[in-house]
Structure 1
Amino acid sequence: MLQFVRRLLFVLLQMFCCRRYAGPVLSGVLGLFALLTPLAFLLLPQLLWRDSLEPCGTPCEGLYVSLAFKLLVLLISSWALFLRPPRASLPRFFVFRCLLMALVFLFVASYWLFYGVRVLEPRERDYRGIVGYAVSLVDALLFIQYLALVLLEVRHLRPAFCLKVVRTTDGASRFYSVGHLSIQRAAVWVLDHYYTDFPVYNPALLNLPKSILSKKKSGFKVYSLGEDNSTNNSTGQSRAMIAAAAHRRDNSHNEYYYEEAEMDRRVRKRKARLVVAVEEAFTHIKRLQDDEAATSPKHPREVMDPREAAQAIFAPMARAMQKYLRTTRQQPYHSMESIITHLQFCITHNMTPKAFLERYLAPGPTMQYQRENGRGRQWTLVSEEPVTSALRQGLVFSLRRLDFALVVTVTPLPFFNLGEEFIDPKSHKFVMRLQSETSV
């Protein structure tokens, strides 16, 4: 019994890990079964009662050509529309996809039912009618394909809602226009744009300077009032401490202002030193052209590949780069290996020092920092409404991670009442207004 429970848990775990592939696999199997069904309708009479079939002739050959081209179009469109690897694992089923799969299964099952009752059981001899029956199934599948294209790809293209996405920690926000989507599909759409539009989340930039935090933490001493003559002294000291603490709190905004100004000055100073160091480092290398290599060959030690050249010029700028990243609190996102790799890329493609510094002078999008693993992209969708519900006015849902969350507010786009006013081109006439005090 224990071994059976272990096997069951193992199977459930495998099913959970392969959940992202279950939908495409099921859709592929059902689509393949639907594509092979018309061919089976044509082959079964030829295999079971071929001698008793009536000759079809030229009309059947035309139907064969039509059936072949329709199946080819259906196969290509099904591959382009359905057989795509999923980019996200949704918590619930995609309603429209499930509806289409149920519709395909219902059509194919109904055709098989009538085929068994009208063709297989009485062994229908009219082969032209059988071919027409198979062609009608392919036509029905093509219409379902058109319906799938409208529901899955066309319906959400027209903008209908405005999504305001706010990061809860630093308040970074973006606005997006989307069409008619469910909550879970809108969440996937938001995450797609989050990794490319939002700046990287840096928790080190959220805290106030330590000097201000240490000054704001003002404790109060407690005195034991054992004698009556010491009561007045202790009360006066307590009042003085409370007044001093209140004065420090009143001046905390001034201290924060000067701390921010000092930080900006330090950043500008480190940035200037880094730019100068990188400019000087890039002057120490030169790309060796083919004609130069043929006319005046260099010593083998003087010729370097891009990796060696990047390591050679990184040393003069390493200290300035380290101080700048530490000042701007970007050192967790840029290791020495990543900087050398980026420097090698810039050298290989003849990029300027400004192109090399672009990654470090301003925080880039989240997609630029690929240090996250699969679990780092694990999000939790929190919504008061079912996640399969459509977007509506006032709907709010959030996408949470361990350290922050994205709060999404849905607002419908307004209806515009556009009027028209005709202006006669002949009305564009002007006169000169002359005044006595002017020079005209």
Structure 2
Amino acid sequence: MSVVSERSTRRSSQKQHSRSRGIQKRYGSETEHQMMIPQFSAAASEGVCHMDMDDTWGDNTTVITATSDFSQHVGNALPYFEPTTKVTGRRCSRWLWLISAFVLSLISIASAPLMMVTPFLLPYMSIEWPEVECPPDCQGYVLTMCVKVVLLVVALWAVYWRSAAADMPRIFLPRVALAFFVLFILFAFWLFFIVRIVLERQVAYSYIVSYSTSLLDVLLYVHYISVIVLVLRSLRPEFTISVLRDPDGELRSFPLGMMSLQEAAVQVLRLYNVHFSSFNRALESHRSRAKSGASNVSTGFKMYDIDGTGAGTLSEENARAVLEAAARRKTGGHNERLYEEQEWESRIRKRQFRLLGSTEDAFYNVQSIFPMKSNGQAAITEPADIVNAAKSVYALIQRPLMKYLRAARRQNLHSQEQILEHIQNCLAHNISPRTFLNRFTSDRMPLQPSIQESKWSIVCDRQASSSISHGLTFILRSHNQDNDSCVQLVCTVSALPFFNITEQSSSKRNFAVKGNGDLMC
């Protein structure tokens, strides 16, 4: 025979066990050996042992049984994902690519002018070259070439002369392909120039200028193609991506164009920093600890194997009973969580309105001392007056403000110096109390110091250089030490459908005249 007993906490079971030990010590060892049999059964209770028991024998008797303690606990602490070790090869490859791109751009800009001045440099290299003559049409080509060089420099500066948005794990194939294509064009033009013009001594300078202008035309066309492939192609929406933040479950959707997986990851992280509310790690940790504490109270079960036939194992029937009891407890625990959430929200709103009242009183007191000017500007102009007024306002709102920040788990985000500086700015520009409190009550965190680098990783079964497609799911995992240290972004890509739009005339414009034959003349 097996008996299932629920227990609320491990501490209560330990108290009962210690109490039973005390009662057990109170009795003699003879009673313990004769009656308190570890494997208690009906067969063992029958036999030679005959004892006189009164009606109250069960009130002070302890039965030692073979006890198996089964408890389950799932930790709800927010995880921290350790970043991968720094790879020196990736840093070196990044610097190598930057240096290569700079050298390639410099060669592209300087190739055409260098071809044009080659006839003037050859005599200094002990190579005979006839005197250069440039008629008016040749001078027009030279002017055109100078303008195209300036246009190429401006185009490269406008599109490519900027800091990289991210360090991608894979090679960016379109950019590398365009770089090799430009390198091939430069090699082909220089080879043709050396073989057909320099070695064959083409003395017509207009040929050299027109040839240099042709090189600039080709480079400008390649630049246009690169803008289309690298920039414009990703601007047209082709997909929608749903971004779900773990662990709080906030969901947003954004449009995406044709791009690779790693480009989509960079775009998602940009949109995440702009459109998502700031993740409050302290509040989420508090909720997880509260949930973990509640689960510890109601998830313990203690098994009593009275017959001693279980051998420390849990039978199928007992396991089913334990699971059913756990399910009943879980279904009844949602009311407690609901009441806790409602109580927390009510406490937050009360403290928020109490803070609003204190702030309005503090601002009113300052405005009564420094009345506002007729043009709507604040009368506080001296820096010393602004600092003293800010300190007086802070002294009046410090207590309700700290209570609200502690309840909202945001006290570590606002230092005293930042609060005083914010009060000074609000008083100097005559900002209302509600606008002043928006910094503390908004779901966006205040301005933090500049972050040099944000570390994330892509978790997907496809290569990061492959293009995104319908049904693709990948995870962006944060490795930062700030508020996003335990954040994961679950991204799901879905393609936009083809919209088949037809035209139908409105029924309001069409009408029919129905006439009766008797009324017609």
TM-score (norm 1): 0.81
Asked whether the equivalents of residues 182 and 222 of structure 2 are also in contact (C-alpha less than 8 Å), the reply is yes
CA contact (8 A) 1:41 1:130 kept: yes
How far apart are residue 351 of structure 1 and its match?
A: 1.4
The residue number in structure 1 matching 2:258 is 180
* Amino acid across the alignment from 2:463: P
Give the corresponding residue for 1:379: 456
Pairing 1:267–2:348 present: yes
Report the AA paired with residue 134 of structure 1: S
The Cα shift of 1:416 comes to 0.4
Deviations 1:69-99 (A, max 9, x none): 1111111011101111112111122222111
Question: 1:58 corresponds to which residue?
Answer: 136
Give the 5 Å matches for 1:11-410.
13=88, 16-17=90-91, 20=94, 22-49=96-123, 52-53=130-131, 55-203=133-281, 204-205=283-284, 206-207=287-288, 209=290, 213=294, 216-221=297-302, 225=306, 249-286=330-367, 304-364=384-444, 368-370=446-448, 373-374=451-452, 377-402=454-479, 403-410=486-493
Distance 1:223 1:248, change over 3 A: same
Give the CA deviation at 1:216.
Answer: 3.4
Give the whole-Å Cα distance in 1 for the aligned partners of 2:268 and 2:324.
50
**Deviation (angstroms), 1:250:** 4.7
User: Hey, what's the Cα distance between the residues in 2 that align with 1:356 and 1:291?
Assistant: 20
> Unaligned regions of 5+ residues in structure 1, if any?
1-11, 228-240, 432-440
Which structure dedicates a bigger proportion of its chain to helix? Answer: 1
1:237 alignment counterpart = none
Q: Which residue of 2 aligns with 1:438?
A: none
CA shift digits 1:252-292 (9 cap, x unpaired) = 22222222222122112111111111111112324969999
1:429–1:371 distance in 2 versus 1, CA, 3 Å? farther
Aligned residue for 1:359, secondary structure, equals helix
Q: CA deviation at 1:329?
A: 1.8
Question: Structure 2-normalised TM-score?
Answer: 0.69
Q: Give the Cα–Cα distance (whole angstroms) in 1 for the partners of residues 513 and 276 of structure 2.
A: 52
Q: Match of 1:274, as an amino acid? A: L
Seen in structure 2, the aligned counterparts of structure 1 residues 90 and 289 have a Cα distance that, compared at 3 Å, is farther
RMSD: 3.4
Which deviates the most, 190-199 or 22-31? 22-31
Count the aligned residue pairs: 398
* Cα shift at 1:168: 1.9
- Contact 1:156–1:181 (Cα < 8 Å) also in 2: yes
Q: Are the equivalent residues in 2 in contact too, given 1:209–1:259 (CA < 8 A)?
A: no
| Percent identity of paired positions between Structure 1 and Structure 2 | 33
Q: Structure 1: how far apart are the matches of 2:339 and 2:167?
A: 48
Paired with 2:243 and 2:344, the residues of 1 have a C-alpha distance of 29
Distance in 2 between the 1:36 and 1:211 partners?
67
Structure with the bigger RCO (C-alpha within 8 Å, sep 6+) is 2
Q: What code does the residue aligned with 2:442 have?
A: A
Residues 260 and 467 in structure 2, CA contact (< 8 A), matched pair in contact too: yes
Q: Go from structure 1 to structure 2 and tell me whether the alpha carbon gap of 1:136 and 1:159 turns closer, same or farther (over 3 Å shift).
A: same
